[in-house]
Chains A and B, each alone.
Chain A
Amino acid sequence: MRTADLEARLAEWSRPGGPFDPAVLTAHDETESFPAEACAALDTWGLPEYYVPVRRGGRQDRLDEFLALLRRIAARDLTVAVAHGKTFLGGVCAWVAGEDGPADLLARHVLAGEPVAWGLTEPDGGSDLLAGSLTATRHGSGWHLSGRKWPVNNATRGNLLCVLARTEPEGGPRGFTVFLIDKRATATGTVRPLPKMPTHGIRGADISGVEFHEARVPAHALVGTVGGGLELVLKSLQLTRIVCVSLSLGAGDHALGLLRRFLSERRLYGRDLADLPHVRGTAGRAAAHQFLAEAVAHTAARAAHQVPEELSVVSAVAKAFVPTLVQGQLRLIGDLLGARGFLTGVEGYGGFAKLERDHQVVPLFDGSTWVNRAGLAGVLPLLRPGRRATASVSASPVHWLREEHRPAPLDARRLRLLAPRDSVLGALPTLVAELAEQERTSSTAAETASLSRALLAAYERLGADLKNVRPTGGAPSTATMRLAERYEWCFAGAAALALHRARPRLHDGPWGQDGLWLRGCLALALEGLGSRPTGATQVYDRLGTLVTTAPDVPVSVLDDMVPDEPVHDGSVEVPAA
C-alpha cells in the first residue's frame, strides 16, 4: 500500500514545522526559493525508485500507481510535485531507448537520489523540436556540444541533463540526437547555468537554463541512435504527457478540499452556504470535473501498458483535455470561494491562490494544449468512426480497466508515432448498447442510457463532420481544432463509460449509487459538446449535496490504494543467498 503510506507520511510532514508545512511552502513561494526540505523528505521516502523501471532495479512497474503517487504530492503542493517529478521526464528517454549501458548507468544515479532534467526547448524555439539549434558535433570518440536549452525545469540544480541536440547541420527528422550529460564530467567553463526565471506560478521551482560552449561529452553520453533523437523524444513524450495530468488531478483534490472546508464554515443569510442551490450545483459540477479528469487520466495510464501503439492519440487527448478541464474546475471553485480564494494568508485559504497560479504551468508542460490538440487534429480524418477495424476484445478498455487487472510491463518497443486505432472510442457503441439493455430496470438507469445514447449521437455527428476534412500540412484551421476538441470530449465520455462498465464497485457507494458519478461525467461531456442534457441540474445538485454532506468521502472514483505486491510475471523468484 505505497500510495496509502505516502499519504500518511505527507499528512505527518504537513504538520507545523514539517517539510510540507503549508507555512514553509508558502514562504518558499514568496521568496522564490526551492522547496528543498520537501524534496529531501520525498527522497528519503524512496520516491526516486519510482522513476526507475523494475527491470533497471527501481519500483516503476505501473503508470497508474505512479500517477497516484504524484497526484498525492501535487494535492499538497504543486510546486514540490513539479520540482521533484522532473526526474521522471529526465529519465524516460533512456528507458524508452532501452539500451542496457546508458539505462543502467542512469538508473544507478537516479536510485542514488540524483535529479535529472530534460532539456528540449530553446530560446525562440517554442514547442518546435525541429527548430533546435543546440548542436553536437563529433570530436574524437566523443562529441562537442554548443548552444542553449531554456527554459528547463531543474537545469541549474541538477548534475544530470538529458538534451536533444542537432547532429546534422540541416536538421530534419533524422538530424537530431539525444544525449545524457553529466555536468560534473565536463571541463570547467564549458557548461554554464542560465539564471532562474521569475515565474507566475511554481515560483520556487528551478526554472532556468543551461549553456554549452564546446562542451566535450564522452561517446557513452549518446542515448539511442545518432539521428534517432526526434523519434525517441516524441515517443517519450507520449508517456510524460500522461504523467503530467496527475498534477492536474492533485490540483483538483487540493481545491476541492479547500472548497469543502469553506462550505462547512461559511454561513450566509443565516443559512449554510450549501443550502443555496447555486452553490450546490456549482460544487457538484466541480466534482463532475474531477471524475471526468480521473476517468481520462486513469484510462490513459492503463492504455500505456495495454495499447501502447495507440498512445500518440491517447496521450495527446489526455494532455490537451485534462489540464484544461481542471483549469475550468478551479474557476468554478474560485467563484464559490470568493474573496477567500483571492486573499493570501487568510485562515489557510491562501493556498488556493497559490495552487491556481501553480496549475497554470501544467497546460504548458510537455507540449501545450494547442500543440497536443494540433497533433490530434492532424490525424483526425484517420480516426473517423468506422474507418478502421475495431480492436480485439483484449484491447477493449473494459478488459484492461478492471480493478484486478494487472497491467503488462511497459513495452516501449510497441510505441508508435501513429496510432492504428483508438480502442477507447472504438468501444463506445458497445458500451452504449449494453447500458440500453439495463434501461428498463429504473428511471435512473433510463436516464444514464439516454445520456450515453446522446454521447454516441454526438460522436456520430463528429464522424459525419470529419468526412469533409482532408489531412493537410501546416497549422490546422480553427474549425479543425474545434473538431479535435469535440473528439476529446467524446473520448472522455467513453473513458467514463468504460471505467463504469469495468468496475462493479463504481455502481454502488455514495458516488456510484444510481450511476450518479457517471451521469455527472456524461452531462459534463455533453455540455462540452454543445448540448444541454436534461436532468443535468439535478445530477449536479445531488453531487454537490454529497460534496458538502459527506466530507470524509474522497471526491474520487479511483481506488488508488493499489496493493504493494511483487510483479507476477510468471518468473520464479530466487531468494537472495
Chain B
Amino acid sequence: MTTYGFDPAAPSELQSWLVERLAEYLPDLGEAVDPYRQLGEYGLDSIAVVAFAADVEEQLGIAVDPTAIWDYPTVSELAEYLAGELAERRPQAA
C-alpha cells in the first residue's frame, strides 16, 4: 500500500510535490519550477521525461506513461491529470 506525505487527491498538494521532484531533474536550474510553464522550456529532454515519469509512477503507485507528460506538459496540468487518475483508483484501494 502506497503512503504519501501529502494528500494526492488535492491537485494543489500534488502540484507542490511535483515541483519538488522535478527540481531534482534540473540540478542547474537556479529558480523554482513554474507550474504554468511548459516543461520543454526547462530543457527536460525525452530521456529525462521517461525517468521522471517512472519516478512519479513509483511514488504514486499508479501507471504513469511518459506520454502523459507530453499530453499534460505543465506541472499544473499534470497534477490535475494525476489527481484524476488517483481518484479513479480510490474505490479499488478502499
Contact = CB atoms under 8 A, between A and B. Distances in A.
Interface of A: 130, 172-174, 230-231, 234, 312, 374-375, 377-379, 381-382, 387-388, 416-418, 420, 470-474, 476
B91 interface: no
Contacts of A474: 43, 45, 48
Interface residues of B, number: 29
A220 to B, nearest CB: 25
Most chain B beta-carbon contacts within 10 A, residue among A312, A388, A416:
A416
A417 B48 contact: no
Contacts of B88: none
Contact of A382 (B24, B38, B55, B73): B55
Most chain A beta-carbon contacts within 10 A, residue among B38, B49, B51:
B51
Interface in B34-53: 38, 40, 42-53
B70 A472 contact: no
Nearest to B52: A471
Contacts of A234: 46
Contacts of A388: 58
Contacts of B27: 472
Given A172-B70, A387-B58, 8 more contacts: A173-B40, A173-B67, A374-B47, A378-B47, A379-B54, A418-B57, A471-B52, A474-B43
Nearest to B44: A473
Contacts of B44: 473
A257 to B, nearest CB: 39
B51 A417 contact: no
B48 A473 contact: yes
A382 B59 CA distance: 12
Given A416-B65, A472-B27, A473-B44, A173 B70 contact: yes
Given A172-B73, A382-B58, A472 B67 contact: no
Contacts of B73: 172
B48 A471 contact: yes
A389 B75 CA distance: 28
B65 A418 contact: yes
B42 to A, nearest CB: 8
A568 to B, nearest CB: 32
B66 A473 contact: no
B30 to A, nearest CB: 15
Contacts of B46: 130, 173, 230, 234
A312 B66 CA distance: 12
21 contacts: A172-B73, A231-B67, A312-B50, A374-B47, A375-B47, A388-B58, A416-B65, A417-B65, A417-B66, A418-B50, A418-B66, A470-B24, A471-B25, A471-B51, A471-B54, A471-B55, A472-B24, A472-B51, A473-B47, A474-B43, A474-B45
A24 B4 CA distance: 68
B87 interface: no
A473 B33 CA distance: 14
A381 B54 CA distance: 10
